[in-house]
Amino acid sequence: MASSLKCLVDDDSRYQKSFQIFLERSSEHQCMRDFIHNMLPDILASIGDGKSHLNVIGVGSGAGEIDLEMLAKLRLKHPRVTVDNEVVEPSSTQLHNYKVLVSQKPGLDYIKFTWNKMTATEFEEHWRVKKMTKKADFIHMIQMLYYVKDPGATISFFQSLLDKNGKLLILLVSGESGWGRLWRTYRNQLCNTEISQCVTTGDIKSFLDSKGVSYQSYELPSEMDITECFTEGDEKGELLLDFLTEVLDFSKTASPELKAGVLELLRHPDCSVESNGKVLFNNNLGVIVIDQLT
């Protein structure tokens, strides 16, 4: 990333604000929920190998809404099991929100929550130092591989933790989404080289193919209303632009040329469609499911 541009994730408060606007303007959580309700139960049906206790790891679990919906589907397919749920989340705000959600939701007695306020990389180090031998039946990484230095190595580590019939579920933006086009065009100007932020399911599939790892993949249609990004000085538009570019205060700190180029690309038919006066960005997601190493 150009030295004058700072990374959005370095300012957790602004990141959480921009993320909230993103959720309000996109169908992201709805399309995740559709996947969880329609596809996930069949994926989870075969895990556990008949055990009465299942180990789950959520990597980058955020505020827990999606985690709890997945755990509910797990319960549906395996009604008599108890669950040990390791939550890995570096944001204290999000962890707090997750704990509040758990305290308010009845019927979770079958789950033991272990809270790990750490990044995926710190969790991996912690696991190795403690020489943990515990295996996991289900590991999910929802929208978090942007924030690790080496997504391939992270996937390989968590795949190594899978038990017999275990599943690793990865959800990221699709290589065919507007994000993919934006990042392919401006990767060098926007992306922080310390952490591979510009990663899509296309990149992950290429990595898995190169390692000969088999997987199942799913495309989830989603869109985001980015109309406000094109109104100069619009606060919500600026927060959305920060989220799209992963740059802190992008509107104020990017060069006029970079800003104009990004805005032009965001409007391009490869990234968005214009409908009823709105600019709707292609926010398609992809899911990749990997089995235990054989």
283 is in an annotated binding site: yes
Q: What angle do CA 236, 25, 35 make, to 5 degrees?
A: 150
Instruction: Note whether 44 and 168 are within 8 A (CB).
Output: no
Q: In this structure, what token pair is assigned to residue 153?
A: 């190595």
CA gap 69, 46 in Å, rounded: 18
Question: Quick one: 107 exposed, middle or buried, by C-beta within 10 A (0-12, 13-18, 19+)?
Answer: exposed
Which residues are part of a known binding site?
28, 283
Which residues are part of a known binding site for substrate?
28, 283
